[in-house]
Amino acid sequence: MFDTDDIPSNPTDNPHLGDMIASRVSRRSLLGGALAATVVGLAGSGAFGGTAAAASDDHRGNDYDDHDDHHDDHGPLLGFTGIEPSTDDTVRVPEGYTWDVLIPWGTPLFNGVTWQEDASNTAADQAKQVGFNHDGMKYFPLPAGRRNRNRGLLVVNHEYTDASQIYTAAQGSTITPDAAGQEKVAKALAGHGVTVVEIAQLSDGSWTHVVGSKYNRRITGTTPVTFSGPVPASHAMLASTVSPTPRGTLNNCANGFTPWGTYLTCEENWNGYFGTDAAFTATPLEARYGVSKAGFGYNWHKAEPRFDLQVNRNELNHFGWVVEIDPFSPNSTPVKRTALGRIKHEGATVVEARGKVVVYTGDDENGDYVYKFVGDRPWREHRARRRSPLDHGTLYVAQFDAVGNGTWLPLVHGAGVLTVANGWADQADVLIRTRQAADAVGATRCHRPEWITVDHETRDVYVAFTNGSGNNAAVNSLRDPNPYGHIVRIMEAGANNAALTFSWDIYVAAGDPAYDATLPATQTIFGSPDGLWMDDDRRLWIQTDISNSSQNLASRFYDHIGNNQMLVSDPDTGEIRRFLTGPRGCELTGITVTPDQRTMFVNIQHPGESTTYWNTLNGGAPTVSNPSAVSSWPYGAGHRPRPATVVIRKLDGGKIGS
Ligand code: FEO
Ligand code: CA
Ligand code: CA
Ligand code: CA
C-alpha cells in the first residue's frame, strides 16, 4: 500500500538523470576530495555572479510574497545547534525552541461536532473536521493582503487516509459492497482534500484554531469543482456518467500559492483510488498513469461506482491536475487549471519572471519528469482582464544533459512531434496525455521529483529527487538504484525563470558517509529529501520521507538515520544541520511561516503508519483494533496516532532557524 509512486510506468528509454548523477558522483570520488567538496557544496550565488542583481528587480516588483527586503538578524544564517537522529516516538527540536500540536486530524472546524477517540465520527462528521494526513500548507495572513503575524488562515492539504486508522474496530478496514462500505468510502473521501481554518496567536504565544470562523471550510473528494484552460469540463474525455458535473480533489500532496492570494493544491497519486472486479485491460494512456485493476488495494470501487473502472473510465481524467482555491471566499468553487498539465503533481511552485508567472512542478514517480509553466504575458494584465494567468501560457518539460546543461521542451500542439499526423488531436489532448507528450519530445527521466523551491535572490531552482529505489526492490549499491536521493540545483539562463535553457548541478547527494565513501565524512546524514522550501533569509529547509519499508533498516542502508526529519541548509556554504526529528512511522511535509518568521508550521503526516522496522519490533502492523502498534503520537499511551500540524517557536522570540 505504501510508496506506490516508486513503481515506474515510463515505457521509454529516454535518458535518466539518475545515471548522469551516478556517473558524476563516481567521477568525483575518483578525482578526490577537493573537487568533491566543490561539487557537493557548490556555492550558487558566487558561482553565477551577476545574477542576483538582475533577479532583485523582479523581486522588488513582487508585492505578494513574504520576502522582507531587509533582514534584521545579524547573526549566522544557521544559529542553532543541530540535533541527533532519533527513533523516539516524539518530536524533537533544537535547544532554545519549542513545539506544540495544532489541528490534529478530526479537530472540529464547526460547532456541533466532537472528536471521537474510537474513530466513530461519521462521514458527515468528517466533512466538518480537519482531514487526514496533512501535507502541503500555507499561512495566509488576515485580513487578506496584510502581513499580520498573529492571525491568519492555515490552508492544509490532506493527501490520503489509512484504513487501519480512520475506522472503528467494529467497522473493520474492509470495504464491503453495502451501506456500511458506502459510509466508509464516504468517510475516506471526506478525509481527503483541503482544510481552510482560521488560526490566531494567544497572548502567551501559543496558537489556537477558531471554531466556526466564517472562513473555515473543507474541500473534499466530493466538493463540486470546475475546469479551466485548454481542457474544459465539457471535453469528451471528461464526460463521466457518474459525475455529470465534476467533483472532488484527491491525493492532495504538496502545494503552491499565487501572487494574487490564492492557494494551489496538487493531485498526486490519484490513480490508486480506482479499481474494478471486472476484467480490465488498461489503455496505453491509463497504463502510463499507473491505472490498474487492483489500484492501491483501497477497494473503494466495491461500494462507490464512481471508482469502478468498468462503470466509468472518464472519471480518471478528472484527476491529475493543479487545483486553485481562493481561501478568502468560502463559497468559491475550486478550479482545475489544466494548462499546468495532467501528471502526478507533487507541488506547484509559483515565481514571477519579469511580470509573468512561472510554475515549477514535479511528477513524483520513478522515471518521471520535471515541468514548468510560463505565462504568456504579465499576470497583472490577465487579472485586469478578468482572466486567470494560469490559463494562458506554455507548459515545458525538462531535458537534462550529462555535462550539466538543459533545455525546457515545449508541450505545444502542432510543434515538433505533437502533431495531428502523429495522433495528437489538439492542445487539450496534449494536456490530458501530458506524460505521453513529454515521452514523445524526449524529456529526461528522473528519480521521483518531489518539491521544488526557488532562491529569491539568485533565482536558482532546487529540486528534491527523493530516491530511486523501488518499493522493496533490492538495493544493489549506494547510488544505483539511489536509495538516498539527491537535491539538484537548476540555474536558469540569465537568472530568468522564464528562460528556455539552464545549467544544473548536484546541490547535495544525500546519504550516510558510513556507507558511502563518495560523501564527505562530515556530511550530516539524511535520506529521501521530499519537502523543500527556502525562507526569506535563504535558509533551505529540507523535509524527509524515507519510505516505511526502509526506515531504520540496515538492509536499506538506513539504520543510522532514524525517523523522518527536517534539516536546514545554508545555500552559500552547503552546510546542513538537523532541526527536527519526527515520531515513529511519520514523514515530515508541509512548511510555512508567519510573515515575521517567528512562527513556523510543519506537518507530521502518517505517524504510526505500518512501518516494517516497528511492525517487527512491536508484534505486527497497526490494525483497526490496535491502531497504535507503531505510534501513539501526539497524545501518548491510550490514544490513537493522529496526523497534525506542529507549531514551532523560538523561546527568545527570534526567527526560526536563526
Ligand atoms: Fe505525496 Fe510525492 O509525495
Ligand atoms: Ca511529498
Ligand atoms: Ca515522498
Ligand atoms: Ca509519502
Examine the pLDDT at 352 and tell me if it is beyond 50: yes
The finding on whether 159 has its CB within 6 A of some atom of ligand 1 is yes
Distance 351 CA to ligand 1 centre (A): 21
CB proximity list for 480: less than 8 A, separation 6 or greater? 18, 22, 468
Counting ligands in written order, the one closest to the CA of 467 is: 3
Examine the pLDDT at 623 and tell me if it is beyond 90: yes
The finding on whether 492 has its CB within 6 A of some atom of ligand 1 is no
- Amino acid making up residue 275: G
- Give percent of the chain with pLDDT exceeding 70: 90
Strand, coil or helix: what is 295?
A: coil
Distance 285 CA to ligand 3 centre (A): 24
pLDDT value at residue 72:
53
CA dist 359 and 370 (Å) reads: 11
pLDDT value at residue 37:
38
CB proximity list for 614: less than 8 A, separation 6 or greater? 552, 584, 585, 629, 630, 631
CA dist 241 and 335 (Å) reads: 21
* Position 131 in a domain: yes
Mean pLDDT value across residues 35-46: 36
Counting ligands in written order, the one closest to the CA of 449 is: 1
The finding on whether 365 has its CB within 6 A of some atom of ligand 1 is no
Atom of ligand 1 nearest to the CA of 344: 2
CA dist 482 and 504 (Å) reads: 19
Distance 136 CA to ligand 2 centre (A): 8
Mean pLDDT value across residues 538-548: 97
The pLDDT-based confidence of 48 (bands split at 50, 70, 90) is very low
The finding on whether 3 has its CB within 6 A of some atom of ligand 1 is no
| All three cell numbers of 592 | 510555512
The finding on whether 253 has its CB within 6 A of some atom of ligand 1 is yes
pLDDT value at residue 52:
32
The pLDDT-based confidence of 4 (bands split at 50, 70, 90) is low
Length of the chain as a residue count: 658
Mean pLDDT value across residues 425-450: 97
Strand order in the sheet with 226-228: 226-228, 335-337, 322-325, 263-267, 252-257
Distance 151 CA to ligand 4 centre (A): 30
Lowest mean pLDDT among 47-56, 384-393, 396-405: 47-56
The finding on whether 450 has its CB within 6 A of some atom of ligand 1 is yes
* Position 655 in a domain: no
CA dist 568 and 503 (Å) reads: 24
List the residue whose alpha carbon is closest to atom 1 of ligand 1. 253
Determine the structural domain holding residue 617 and report its residue range. 4-650
* Position 429 in a domain: yes
pLDDT value at residue 521:
92
CB proximity list for 170: less than 8 A, separation 6 or greater? none
Contact 189, 301 (CB under 8 A): no
Distance 545 CA to ligand 4 centre (A): 6
Counting ligands in written order, the one closest to the CA of 253 is: 1
The finding on whether 267 has its CB within 6 A of some atom of ligand 1 is no
The finding on whether 346 has its CB within 6 A of some atom of ligand 1 is yes
Q: Which tens digits make up the pLDDT trace of 86-125?
A: 999 999 999 999 999 999 999 999 999 999 999 999 999 9
The pLDDT-based confidence of 65 (bands split at 50, 70, 90) is very low
Lowest mean pLDDT among 208-222, 387-401, 512-526: 512-526
Q: What is the largest CA-CA distance in the chain?
A: 67
The finding on whether 363 has its CB within 6 A of some atom of ligand 1 is no
pLDDT greater at residue 364 or residue 29? 364
Q: Which tens digits make up the pLDDT trace of 135-156?
A: 999 999 999 989 999 999 999 9
The pLDDT-based confidence of 477 (bands split at 50, 70, 90) is low
Lowest mean pLDDT among 16-25, 138-147, 259-268, 393-402: 16-25
pTM metric for this prediction: 0.93
Atom of ligand 1 nearest to the CA of 346: 2
pLDDT value at residue 5:
67
- Give percent of the chain with pLDDT exceeding 90: 85
Examine the pLDDT at 435 and tell me if it is beyond 90: yes
Examine the pLDDT at 517 and tell me if it is beyond 70: yes
pLDDT value at residue 469:
73
* Position 124 in a domain: yes
pLDDT greater at residue 201 or residue 7? 201
Distance 592 CA to ligand 1 centre (A): 17
Counting ligands in written order, the one closest to the CA of 365 is: 1
Mean pLDDT value across residues 564-581: 98
Instruction: Please give the full DSSP string across 123-164, using - where no structure is assigned.
Output: HHHHTTB--SSEEEEEEEESSTTS--SSEEEEEEEE----TT
Atom of ligand 1 nearest to the CA of 268: 1
Atom of ligand 1 nearest to the CA of 5: 2
Atom of ligand 1 nearest to the CA of 545: 3
Mean pLDDT value across residues 341-361: 98
Q: Which tens digits make up the pLDDT trace of 580-597?
A: 999 999 999 999 999 999
The b/e string for 338-377 (b: 16+ C-beta within 10 A; e otherwise) is bbbbbbbbbbbbbbbbebbbbbbbbbbbbbbbbbbbbbee
Distance 255 CA to ligand 2 centre (A): 10
Mean pLDDT value across residues 331-339: 98
* Position 164 in a domain: yes
Q: What is the mean pLDDT of the chain?
A: 91
Mean pLDDT value across residues 555-576: 96
* Position 242 in a domain: yes
| E strands present in 496-615 | 501-509, 529-534, 540-544, 565-569, 576-581, 587-593, 599-605
pLDDT value at residue 38:
38
CA dist 254 and 134 (Å) reads: 10
Examine the pLDDT at 424 and tell me if it is beyond 80: yes
Atom of ligand 1 nearest to the CA of 269: 1
Question: Which residue has cell 474496530?
Answer: 169
Distance 380 CA to ligand 3 centre (A): 34
The pLDDT-based confidence of 75 (bands split at 50, 70, 90) is confident
Distance 33 CA to ligand 1 centre (A): 34
Examine the pLDDT at 606 and tell me if it is beyond 60: yes
pLDDT value at residue 478:
57
The pLDDT-based confidence of 417 (bands split at 50, 70, 90) is very high
How many Cα neighbours within 13 Å face the side chain of 627?
26
Counting ligands in written order, the one closest to the CA of 362 is: 1
CA dist 571 and 417 (Å) reads: 39
Distance 177 CA to ligand 2 centre (A): 32
The finding on whether 587 has its CB within 6 A of some atom of ligand 1 is no
Distance 462 CA to ligand 2 centre (A): 15
Counting ligands in written order, the one closest to the CA of 157 is: 1
CA dist 649 and 51 (Å) reads: 34
The pLDDT-based confidence of 8 (bands split at 50, 70, 90) is confident
| All three cell numbers of 311 | 462503470
pLDDT value at residue 537:
98
Distance 6 CA to ligand 2 centre (A): 12
Atom of ligand 1 nearest to the CA of 159: 1
Atom of ligand 1 nearest to the CA of 364: 2
CATH number at residue 215: 2.120.10.30
Strand, coil or helix: what is 657?
A: coil
Name the domain count of the chain: 1
Contact 581, 545 (CB under 8 A): no
CA dist 172 and 183 (Å) reads: 12
Distance 386 CA to ligand 2 centre (A): 33
The finding on whether 6 has its CB within 6 A of some atom of ligand 1 is no
Lowest mean pLDDT among 44-58, 352-366, 514-528, 591-605: 44-58
CB proximity list for 46: less than 8 A, separation 6 or greater? 572
Counting ligands in written order, the one closest to the CA of 587 is: 4
Q: Which tens digits make up the pLDDT trace of 211-224?
A: 999 999 999 999 99
Contact 340, 374 (CB under 8 A): no
**From its phi and psi, is residue 417 left (phi > 0), alpha (psi between -120 and 50) or beta?**
alpha
Q: Which helix (H) or strand (E) holds 34?
A: helix 33-40
Examine the pLDDT at 50 and tell me if it is beyond 60: no
Question: Which residue has cell 539527491?
Answer: 486
- Relative orientation angle of helices 33-40 and 17-31, to the nearest 10 degrees: 140
Mean pLDDT value across residues 198-217: 98
The finding on whether 162 has its CB within 6 A of some atom of ligand 1 is no
Examine the pLDDT at 32 and tell me if it is beyond 80: no
Examine the pLDDT at 49 and tell me if it is beyond 90: no
